[in-house]
Structure 1
Amino acid sequence: MSQNSQAALRSTNPEDYQGVPRAVAAMPKDFADGFEIAPHRHRRAQLIYATAGTMRISTEEAVWVVPPQRALWMPPGVRHSIVMSGDVTMRTLYLRQDAAAGMPEVCRVLRISPLLRELIVRATEMPVHYDERGAAGHVEALILDELHHEPSLPFHLPMPRDKRLQRLCSALLAAPGDQRTLEHWAGSANASPRTLARLFVTETGLTFGAWRQQARVLEAMGRLSGGQAVTDVALDLGYDSVSAFSAMFRRASGVSPSAYRPAR
């Protein structure tokens, strides 16, 4: 059987990859727009990556929006859920404990270089029980070397534990363009604006305004990487002009919104 045939027959059940006697186990799996993976955890550390489409990945502590230029490092045992934005071609790596040594002990966004992208794709085409002494073993070694040298990026949204703030934050994640003030939200939360403002800083390290802006930045990254027009994203997220949105996005991310749109 050819390697391509073996890849086509490869399991899409993550449990089948947790005990593979290889340092890296790669699982290809495609998802439709809007598909949700319920909260779960894995025994192995995981690199959650997609060559197309955007994923919103949530844990109890934070939310990450992960476009194709990025991946999320997930340590073993961390409970998480995933929502797909656009059709997603997920290419997940599961790393054995010794292979994950030296990687972050908490979730981190990693940049995916063109080389690492091709290595990940190649890993999903190799047999699951690949020959570690052959060419596949070199691919495995290069993947681990690249992973251990990729810098972490500060693109995450800390989530509060207070139930009132959780409801507020969930509503803003569902509608990041919502312009309502903290005074408005205080009424439905049965708390004073001052109390909510204090809780935001205590539980997330951000003010309400900064948290909402970060939510908009992450949402914009996902939409832009999916090919949406900058003007449409700016208006959907509550900005009066494209220039105001672009200035905010550049301050927060260091690049222009157009840098996140796929090249033609």
Structure 2
Amino acid sequence: MKAQQQVFPSLASYNQALNDLGARRIGHRVLAISAAGTPSFTGRQAKREGSWHSHHRGQLMCVKDGLLHVRTTHGSWAVPPGRAAWVPPGVPHAVNSNGVSHSWHLYLSPAASRPMPPRPCVIEVNPLIEDIVPRAVLWTAQERLDAAQGRLMAVLIDELASAPHDRMQLPIPRDRRLLRIATAILDNPADTRTRDEWAAWAGLSSRTLTRLFQEEVRISFAQWREQAALMAAVDRLAHGESVASVADALGYATPSGFIAMFRRHFGEPPARYFASQ
């Protein structure tokens, strides 16, 4: 007999269910949960900020609308619809959501997590994954899976492990001076200060800023600033702002310059990228 999909009476009860699944040491290799039907998710919500935590199981988070921001000690990720954030078992993380009304989460046992990437990342969610997840949501942690369900779970794990990685990653520097600069840029990606001006503001030389950024985050300061602008752009575009408005807010002289930057990172212009979600 199939289990009925749970409806959670409140956001707090849903969050508790997430924590319970993440901590579960017995049960299926993959446990699934969806926020569909939860009263707190029936409309687009204001921003919600989560606290730092970790799970015994690996966690995969996907939203159908709005945007997730996932923070770990490795960096920050923007997760638009059609993508999923992967956090391996035991990795501390915090999740902020903006405008999310429907999401699903998968919790993979440590054994099922082994084929997955060893570090946090964002993966693309293909139609097969989207088809299997609603079925997995119906499988309670206590029930025994039949042969067909077991095969579906194996396919799901294989699809997740082979899914392409998204490039929407923003590594966070640890040096306190670089972190000060990074935080200020994230607060205002349109800030037009030059590298020399940022270095002077943080109390280090321009050469030291360049060297430390390359050492700590493995990309140049200019590349990091562009990634920060891209994260801000995805957030705004996911909430319905026009390309022209986003380009202007991020300091681009024309929309074409912003579109070129977006295409360089994602291989397609914003309209096509979001249409595919």
Q: Same fold (TM over 0.5)?
A: yes
Distance 1:2 1:132 in 2: 10
Q: Deviations over 1:47-91 (max 9, x none)?
A: 121122111111112111111121121111111111112224231
The aligned residue for residue 101 of structure 1 is: 114
Identity of aligned residues (%): 36
- Does residue 28 of the first structure (1) align with residue 41 of the second (2)? no
The aligned residue for residue 99 of structure 2 is: 86
- Does residue 260 of the first structure (1) align with residue 265 of the second (2)? no
The aligned residue for residue 6 of structure 2 is: 7
Show structure 1 runs of 5+ residues with no match.
Answer: none
Contact 1:231 1:242 in 2 (8 A): yes
Contact 1:224 1:258 in 2 (8 A): no
Contact 1:34 1:84 in 2 (8 A): yes
Contact 2:167 2:265 in 1 (8 A): no
Q: CA deviation at 1:206?
A: 1.7
Q: Deviations over 1:159-189 (max 9, x none)?
A: 1110111111112112212221122222331
Q: CA deviation at 1:222?
A: 3.0
Q: CA deviation at 1:11?
A: 4.9
Contact 2:63 2:100 in 1 (8 A): no
Distance 2:220 2:158 in 1: 38
Q: Deviations over 1:80-122 (max 9, x none)?
A: 1111122242311001122222211111221101221232233
Worse-matched range after superposition: 73-82 or 126-135: 126-135
Match of 2:196 among 183, 208, 214: 183
Moved over 6 A (4+): none
Amino acid of the residue matched to residue 73 of structure 1?
W
Worse-matched range after superposition: 40-49 or 79-88: 79-88
The aligned residue for residue 16 of structure 1 is: 20
Match of 1:222 among 235, 249, 252: 235
Q: Deviations over 1:181-206 (max 9, x none)?
A: 12222233111222212211121122
Q: CA deviation at 1:224?
A: 2.2
Distance 2:143 2:191 in 1: 50
Mark the CA change 1:131 to 1:223 in structure 2 (over 3 Å): closer, same or farther. farther
Q: CA deviation at 1:128?
A: 3.8
Q: How does 1:90-129 map to 2 (within 5 A)?
A: 90-129=103-142
Contact 1:168 1:185 in 2 (8 A): yes
SS in structure 1 of the partner of residue 247 of structure 2: helix
Amino acid of the residue matched to residue 214 of structure 1?
Q
Contact 2:129 2:156 in 1 (8 A): yes
Amino acid of the residue matched to residue 204 of structure 1?
V
Mark the CA change 1:229 to 1:79 in structure 2 (over 3 Å): closer, same or farther. same
Amino acid of the residue matched to residue 235 of structure 1?
D
Mark the CA change 1:90 to 1:162 in structure 2 (over 3 Å): closer, same or farther. same
Calculate the TM-score normalised by the size of structure 2. 0.86
Match of 1:72 among 74, 85, 88: 85
SS in structure 2 of the partner of residue 115 of structure 1: helix
Amino acid of the residue matched to residue 53 of structure 1?
G
Calculate the TM-score normalised by the size of structure 1. 0.90
Amino acid of the residue matched to residue 27 of structure 1?
I
The aligned residue for residue 226 of structure 2 is: 213
The aligned residue for residue 38 of structure 2 is: none
Contact 1:26 1:128 in 2 (8 A): no
Distance 1:122 1:51 in 2: 17
Distance 2:134 2:183 in 1: 34
